[in-house]
Amino acid sequence: MPTALETELAEKVISMVPNVEKVRFVNSGTEACMSAVRLARGYTGRDKIIKFAGCYHGHADAFLIQAGSGAVTFGSPNSPGVTPGTARDTLLANYNDLESVETLIKANPGAIAAIILEPVAGNMGCIPPEAGFLEGLRALCTRHGILLIFDEVMTGFRLAPGGAQEALGIRADIATFGKVLGGGLPVGAFAAAGEIMRHLAPEGPVYQAGTLSGNPLAMGAGLAMLTAIEADPEVFSRLEQKTAYLHKGLQSALEASDLPFQINRFGSMISVHFTDIPVRDFESAATGNNPHFKTYFHGMLDRGIYLPPSAFESYFLNDALSYEDLDLAIASAGAAMSRNATR
Ligand SMILES: Cc1ncc(COP(=O)(O)O)c(C=O)c1O
């Protein structure tokens, strides 16, 4: 049974996110991505999807093929329990590598329903899309009748009120959301133009439902969060400035360590990889999963700074962090990795 709060939140999402006319609420980012892929398959009548190595879209079977985040941290990017049949329908491309996508499309003519990706990757550390990558994907999808799914579970309502679609000026066919949207409670959502969403049950044949979807508690929290964001549009530039400040500070603190490192940042997403090659895809990100990361993580923890506990996670700044907090983090990074520290 729908609630008034659900409708109110749906209207708010539609007013903030570009290019969407209808939204369906679920309970997690996993559900949102899983349902978006089913909708894309139902809409196109095709079976296969393309995902990118190192991108994480939740723990549904189809996504546990070279997944990032915890899946790769704990050493099981290809999970046991996922059948070969499911794995066969998930094709794997390399992030920031359009050619790898074109090759897959050529090899599977008329078979690909959707390309799903994190428009700014956060599950192999922060990896921004290089110039032309998203534009190229958009063009390939339009040319081949493939739906482009932006997984905005991390980027949604974080990079801009309209997420990465707004921040980067690229239109996706379906966008998925989670995290921020729930204001701390379990919420996910997927949204698209009415022409696509009308294929969903009960209007259309693609089944999706959930007992707790759209429950008033979660909808209330989401509504409070989006209302707060709307009332304070400066929050995005404030967060970006704080992240740029952290970036600059970490850069000079870590330079003193003589260790190779890379800092990637986009908006309020940032990460440090201890490697000497630019981090632009999963393979390069994996070179930073090494003992230096462990030294850094524990050195920071010992000094009271709790970072994401994986070399494959982005940091996300929140607005409660003060410049004093950031100074403490920067000084702690310098101390944790200094040549004199035991590392
Ligand atoms: C980009 C992205 N998509 C999907 C998910 C899955 O969301 P959930 O953990 O809410 O199922 C995550 C979770 O970290 C995520 O980062």
Domain boundary among 207, 231, 255: 231
What is the per-residue pLDDT for 80? 80
Same domain, 196 and 245: no
In this structure, the answer to whether residues 210 and 248 fall within a common structural domain is no
Q: Same domain, yes or no, for 160 and 289?
A: no
Any atom of ligand 1 within 6 Å of the Cβ of 155: no
Q: Which residues pair with 150 in a beta bridge?
A: 117, 175
Q: 2 pLDDT band (50/70/90 cuts)?
A: confident
Same-domain status, 178 and 197: yes
Residue 146 is given by DSSP the state P
pLDDT, averaged across the chain: 95
The predicted structure's pLDDT at residue 275: 97
Residues 17, 113 within the same domain? yes
Same domain (yes/no): 268, 202: no
One domain for residues 74 and 109: yes
Assigned domain for 105 exists = yes
**Same domain? 183 vs 58:** yes
CA distance 222 to 23: 14
> Which atom of ligand 1 is closest in space to residue 55's alpha carbon?
1
- Looking at residue 73, its pLDDT comes to 63
Question: Domain with 321 in it: what CATH number?
Answer: 3.90.1150.10
Which of 69, 153, 154, 313 gets mutated to test ligand 1 (max ligand atoms within 8 A of its CB)? 153
Q: Is residue 72 part of a domain?
A: yes
Give the span between the Cα atoms of 267 and 289, in whole angstroms: 23
Do 48 and 154 lie in one domain? The reply is yes
My answer on whether 218 and 246 are in the same domain is no
User: Is residue 179 among the annotated active site residues?
Assistant: yes
Omega of the bond leading into 186 within 30 degrees of 0 (cis)? no
Interval 138-161 mean pLDDT = 98
Q: Is 56 in the pocket of ligand 1 (CB under 6 A)?
A: yes
On whether residue 169 sits in a domain, the answer given is yes
- pLDDT band of 70, cuts 50, 70, 90: low
Active site residue 151: yes
343 assigned to some structural domain: no
- Does 240 lie in the same domain as 210? no
Residue 202 within a domain: yes
Q: How close is the Cα of 110 to the center of ligand 1, in Å? A: 29
- Identify the residue whose C-alpha is closest to ligand 1 atom 3: 57
Q: What is the mean pLDDT of residues 21-28?
A: 98
Say if ligand 1 is within 6 A of residue 30 CB.
yes
Write out 75-138 in H/E/C secondary structure.
Answer: CCCCCCCCCHHHHHCEEEECCCCHHHHHHHHHHCCCCEEEEEECCCECECECECCCCCHHHHHH
Query: Which pLDDT belongs to residue 129?
Result: 98
Same domain, 65 and 143: yes
Please say which residue of 210, 231, 252 terminates a domain.
231
In a domain, 38, yes or no: yes
Counting the structural domains of the chain, the total is 2
Which atom number of ligand 1 is nearest to the Cα of residue 58? 6
Segment 25-40 mean pLDDT:
98
Strands 174-177 and 188-192: antiparallel
- Does ligand 1 lie within 6 Å of residue 154's CB atom? yes
- pTM greater than 0.85 (yes/no): yes
**Residue 15 belongs to a domain with what CATH number?**
3.40.640.10
Q: For residue 87, what pLDDT band results from cuts at 50, 70 and 90?
A: confident
Q: Which of 55, 56, 120, 310 to mutate to test the pocket of ligand 1 (most atoms within 8 A of CB)?
A: 56
Residue 142 belongs to a domain: yes
User: Is the predicted pLDDT of residue 340 greater than 80, yes or no?
Assistant: no
Report if residue 20 sits inside a domain: yes
Asked which of 191, 210, 231 is the last residue of a domain, the reply is 231
- Does residue 342 have a pLDDT over 60? no
User: Which residues constitute the domain of residue 210?
Assistant: 4-231
pLDDT tens-digit profile of 182-230? 999 999 999 999 999 999 999 999 999 999 999 999 999 999 999 999 9
Q: Specify whether 47 is catalytic.
A: no
Residue 151 CB–ligand 1 contact under 6 Å? yes
Calculate the CA 286 to chain-centre distance.
Answer: 18
State the residue for tokens 């409708």: 7
3-state helix, strand, coil in the chain (%, to 5): 40, 15, 40
In short, whether 178's Cβ falls inside 6 Å of ligand 1 is yes
